[in-house]
Structure 1
Amino acid sequence: MSCFEVIDPRFGGFVMGNAPVKRIATGFDWVEGPVWFGDAGCLLFSDIPNNRILRWTPDGVTTFRAPSNYSNGHTRDREGRLISCEHGLRRVTRTELDGSVTVIADGYGGARLNSPNDVVVARDGSIWFTDPHYGIMTDYEGFKGEQELHCNVYRVDPAGGIEAVITDMACPNGLAFSPDETLLYVADTGRMFHPDPQHIRVFEMVRGRPHGGRVFHTISPGCADGMRVDTEGNLWSSARDGVHCIAPDGTLLGKVLVPEVVSNLCFGGRAKHQLFITATTSVYSVVLNRNGMQRP
């Protein structure tokens, strides 16, 4: 069975027949938040229900942090520090180079955040994160609790000020900037609880703030969760059947097929040409003829 589904001929040049999808780790409950540390030669990812962050290298999997406060999504900032979304304490944190943890955001307008989900860092050093309510709905991925805020997208400026920049989504989830940061893509997985949203919206960045928010693409089957972009501006999104590659004009180009529901993904490896995929109980990897926008 092929690891790929080519829908547009362009996608045929993005994948290689002699570079199949490989399962590199398994035995987890719900994996999320992959982030590549090229300077350490490792991938970090969350096993949310088991309250731990794990470290993968070609030699195997070890524990990076446990307990992890039920961490979900991760990224790196401009200085290479780990930025994490924690369901358990309803906050976004930064792990300093000495290992200490700094709280970036844990509330807005006097109310507690819901359960920060995914996070990106812009070139100006601002931290952008989504805050759906998944982590407080049950005790499975955190602690069941009261929802005090609408599910928003927030921006934290380098000085620490927090602002709700997108407030009209049902359940904002994965997010990613275009390579030139003129566009911001945000997935809405509200269909899990509402009759409608299951799409990716795209916002135009005007003076550092998102405007518009038209529907860019609708994932099928399933919903978009985590997303990343490559250097050519193609969007790689999670889906029920794998990873979908979407052109900058919204055209579905093809799929990397994965036998489990995909939650998130990131680029990494020697040339940022390796796609790491978290999917239900396992982590997968595939080498592409594309390069990601992640830091080395």
Structure 2
Amino acid sequence: MSLPDRRSVLRGAAAVFLSGAAARAATREPHPADVMTQPVRDFGPHAPPAFVPDPDILSLDPSFGDLVFKNGNIERVWSGGGWLEGPAWISEGRFLLLSDTVRSAQYRFLPEENLMTTYRKESFNSNGNTVDLQGRILTCEHGLRRVIRWEQDGTCTVLADKFEGQGLNSPNDIIVNPADGSILFSDPAYGDCLAEGHPDAPGGRANREGKLRWNIGTEATTQFGSAKRQADHTFRIDPQNGQLESVLTEEQVPGPNGLCLSPDFKTLYVISTAPDPGLTGPGGDRKIRAFDMVNGRPQNGRVFCDMTLDGQHLVPDGMKADVFGNLWCGASGPYGLCGVFCYSPAGKLLGRIRLSHGVSNLTFGGLKRNELYMCAAGSLYRLMLNTQGAGLC
């Protein structure tokens, strides 16, 4: 074959190779699928092999890279709930306890078996869960408008259901202060509705016109629970005598929701979410506030962060601190901004985890407490981190 002929063959082969490469490039995704792509990324068990780094883990500060496991991916471990809330890691049982406020049930997720089971078929629209210093489970119930403790023998102790002669609203989030063993819980009225508890009796703030038939299908809850809402409070239960004390009023924190203590127990964070049913005072302003803990009580309140990103004011809900004092907060908002937001102890946004749904609450679990479990609508997500949770559960 002459030299010109060989050149022609090589040019033809090169053309075929390049056309094939172009075809492969045209069919190959320019970047891995994420929440914002069309079609949207599949987080489920049958999703294609994951990419690293995960495209929905967004670093806004270099320090965020030290907190996430670079080979870790967001995974949806279960779906099929109504509205998941109150995740708490139960160390002794090695399982994650969570509430379904809409379906009035509690679930138990077993990570080693990757299995979700029913923990309590009737939870009276439970929301927040935690454990005390003795490992006993504490639960907030919207339906019965109370805070309870499950004893080691299986009996139930009511810790709070009234304040100054009036019933509570719908206890929401709950934590234990290891510094003194006291219990703190928020009591807005987000659960004073048909979906997550029961409205007020006719004439109450959450049913002023009396048109809502408040006790249909909820005979047990309305028989034993409060009938009318009162002002919002953040409460403290004394560990010695069980006395209930209001430590924050709705003027100090309107619409209180998520609660969290710093790792040294010296700072209390409280989320103000949105206006709740029957509110008469100031509505929730969707900010996170910080308070100094003095003698087990919050003082010197200030705004920690305003939950604003890209000009959008997001809706924070639940939060947890890691061992470095960073605050991990679940939030809802416009599509593409939903998920988890990580703030430094100084209130700087370090990074975020983008999900298709808003995150109601989250916690650290797993044997090493380095797995972040996120409740997003009816689904449970998980992400392995390079940090650990600072709380009891």
TM-score by length of 1: 0.96
SS in 2 for 1:10: helix
CA shift digits 1:239-264 (9 cap, x unpaired)? 12111000000100000122211000
C-alpha distance in 1 between matches for 2:374 and 2:346:
24
Deviation at 1:195, TM superposition (A): 6.5
- Percentage of matched positions with identical amino acids: 43
> Secondary structure, in 3 states, of the residue corresponding to 2:63?
helix
The aligned residue for residue 236 of structure 1 is 328
Of the three residues 126, 146, 154, the one matched with 2:235 is 154
The answer to whether the 8 Å contact 1:231/1:292 transfers is yes
Question: How big is the shift at 1:196?
Answer: 6.2
Q: How many residues align?
A: 295
Q: What is the CA distance between 1:37 and its match in structure 2?
A: 1.1
| Residues 1:33 and 1:195: Cα distance change in structure 2 (over 3 Å) | closer
Gaps of 5+ in 2: 1-33, 35-54, 205-227, 333-337
Shift of 1:294: 2.9
Equivalent pair of 1:28/1:282 in contact (CA under 8 Å): yes
Provide the C-alpha distance between the structure 2 equivalents of 1:66 and 1:196, rounded to a whole number of angstroms. 32
Q: Write out per-residue CA displacement over residues 205-240 of structure 1, whole angstroms, 9 at most, x where no aligned residue.
A: 112211121110112352111110001111110112
Is the CA contact 1:268–1:294 (under 8 Å) kept in the aligned structure 2? no
Aligned residue number for residue 186 of structure 1: 270
Shift of 1:79: 0.6
Q: Give SS of 1:197's match.
A: coil
Choose 76-85 or 206-215, whichever is displaced more: 206-215
* Alpha-carbon distance in 2 for matches of 1:79, 1:271: 20
By relative contact order (CA 8 Å, sep 6+), the higher-ranking structure is 1
Amino acid at match of 1:29: G
Q: Say if 1:173 and 1:187, in contact at 8 Å, map to a contact too.
A: yes
Q: Take 1:86 and 1:116, find their aligned partners in 2: how far apart are those partners?
A: 6
- The answer to which structure has the higher helix fraction is 2
Unpaired runs of 5+ in structure 1? none
Aligned residue number for residue 245 of structure 2: 163
If you compute each CA radius of gyration, which structure gives the higher value, 1 or 2?
2
Amino acid at match of 2:191: G
Alignment of 1:137-152 (within 5 A): 138-145=193-200, 146=204, 147-152=228-233
Residue number in structure 2 paired with 1:68: 123
Aligned-pair CA distance for 1:190? 3.0
Match of 1:4 in 2: 57
Supply the distance in 2 between the matched residues of 1:79 and 1:8 (Cα, whole angstroms).
38
1:113–1:131 contact (8 Å) kept in structure 2: yes
- 1:98 is matched with 153
- CA RMSD in angstroms comes to 1.4
SS in 2 for 1:69: coil
Which letter maps to 1:128? Answer: L
AA aligned to 1:150 is A
Q: Deviations over 1:113-145 (max 9, x none)?
A: 000000000111111000000111x21001111
Q: Which moved more, 1:1-10 or 1:75-84?
A: 1-10
Please state which structure has a larger fraction of its residues in strand: 1
Aligned partner of 1:37 in structure 2 is 90
